[in-house]
Amino acid sequence: MDILVIGSGGREHAIVRKLKESPKVGKLYCVPGNGGIARDAICGPVGAMDKEGVLAFAREHKVDFVFVAPDDPLAAGMVDFLEEAGFPCFGPNAKAAEIESSKVFSKNLMKKYGIPTAAYEVFQGREAALAYIRQQGKYPVVIKADGLALGKGVIIAQDEGEAADALRSMMEDKVFGESGARVVVEEFLTGPEVTVLAFTDGEALCPMASSMDHKQAYDGDKGPNTGGMGTISPNPAYTEEAARRCMEEIFLPTVKAMNAEGRKFKGCLYFGLMLTPEGPKVIEYNSRFGDPEAQVVLPRLETDLVDIITAVAEERLGKIHIKWSGKASACVVMASGGYPGSYPKGLEITGLDGNGQAAGMPGVTVYHAGTRWEDGKFYTNGGRVLGLTALGDTLEDALQAAYEAVGRVAFDGAMYRRDIGRRKL
């Protein structure tokens, strides 16, 4: 099978690497890809949101299957468009992808079907939202932009002043664009956070190995939210009991709820969960693999990914058995100085490949998130630049190897967290 992956980040690199292991894969393409992905797949200058461009590329290269990885093209109906043109895809259609692209939709879905989540109200106007927050008088309070905001549209306000600022920047200054036209104001929950990705074909649901993201930019979970600064898998807080409850109270009810709404979800469903004192609750859904969750979960997958994605597309996931390695994995993201704010691009990266450098270390994989390859060198080309990932017999081993790899790589202003996997649960 010749497969086309859509996207250009570390997640897409992890997907490409896993597909490359499959004996069933012929040619592997990725658009637009990046400097590192181009080592593993044939990349092309087609934007992830360019439906006509992607279709033309798929036709020109006669690909057999398309894996749509990022949220925006899913929300924009890339899968609907390609399937209509006869290309089988991995990923939900636009109606199903709304579980991520509208927080208002997903919150209302959970309320309607009794899926545990934080209590909330939806607001279109800043004054009404602020009046509600004042009347509740409970801080911190969580304010979320309705639409997609690169994982950054969530503000945890510690007092009324911060809440007022957050509402102003989302609803008046429109820092997240139209995503902030409506906001969800919700109760602040506490407890360890767990990400569980799951394959589903709309009937069967197979949870993947659990993971933990580190969303804040700086050590000690301080600073602004980012797309994710590092991950570990498995998540030590995710006990068998928690897994059982999540399956019963959250995962299966979500699949059923989407069917009942006429929005059958096929692809990878991302559950962002909090294990609160009252039990597991949903913090957010995503309609795709997490980034950098994919970078720690996929290396632990022992079943051929091609078998899984074709089973999902053909709605026979219930017939296959998926195996996971007992090893642990860790990913440390190296980002550009200034991320998630503004940052420079085009800085030379050293220490990646060659003798004794990061990519050659046993058990280590370097996933490229924002890099460009030119004249024999890699240059930075995005906020998150690299995800240095390692497998180990224990989480400690994996972390040690991932950080050793980080130590071998350098570019000016490189920023990374030193405490991935060290959170007290």
* Cα gap 163→390, rounded to integer Å: 40
Select from ligand GLY, ligand AMP, none the partner in contact with residue 290, using the beta carbon and a kind-dependent cut-off of 5 to 8 Å.
ligand GLY
Indicate whether 106 belongs to the interface with ligand GLY (CB under 6 A).
Answer: no
DSSP label at residue 247: I
Element (H, E) at 268: strand 267-276
> Toward ligand AMP, which CB reaches closer, 78 or 283?
283
> Toward ligand GLY, which CB reaches closer, 25 or 402?
402
For 196, the 3-state DSSP assignment is: strand
Instruction: Give the chain's largest Cα–Cα span.
Output: 62
Indicate whether 213 belongs to the interface with ligand GLY (CB under 6 A).
Answer: yes
With CB under 6 A as the contact rule, which of the stretches 133-141, 287-295, 312-320, 376-384 interacts with ligand GLY?
A: 287-295
Question: Considering only CA atoms, which of 52, 82, 74 is closest in space to residue 286?
Answer: 74
Select from ligand AMP, ligand GLY, none the partner in contact with residue 118, using the beta carbon and a kind-dependent cut-off of 5 to 8 Å.
ligand AMP
> Toward ligand GLY, which CB reaches closer, 151 or 234?
151
Q: Binding residue for ligand GLY (CB under 6 A) from 12, 193, 291, 304?
A: 291
Q: What is the binding site for ligand AMP (CB under 6 A)?
A: 118, 142, 144, 151, 154, 156, 186-189, 193, 215, 225, 272, 283-284
Indicate whether 151 belongs to the interface with ligand GLY (CB under 6 A).
Answer: yes
> Toward ligand AMP, which CB reaches closer, 107 or 372?
107
Size of the site for ligand GLY (CB under 6 A): 8
* Cα gap 255→363, rounded to integer Å: 35
Select from ligand AMP, ligand GLY, none the partner in contact with residue 182, using the beta carbon and a kind-dependent cut-off of 5 to 8 Å.
none
Give strand ranges (E) for 289-363. Answer: 328-335, 348-349
Say which residue the tokens 């860790």 belong to: 330
- Cβ-contact 364, 390 below 8 angstroms: yes
DSSP label at residue 250: I
The token pair that represents 30 in the structure block: 């990725």
* Cα gap 6→33, rounded to integer Å: 8
Shortest Cβ distance from residue 151 to ligand GLY (Å)? 4
Q: Binding residue for ligand GLY (CB under 6 A) from 35, 73, 290, 383?
A: 290
Q: How many residues does the chain have?
A: 425
Indicate whether 230 belongs to the interface with ligand GLY (CB under 6 A).
Answer: no
* Cα gap 416→229, rounded to integer Å: 7
Summarize as ranges the residues that interact with ligand GLY (CB under 6 A).
151, 213, 227-228, 286, 290-291, 293
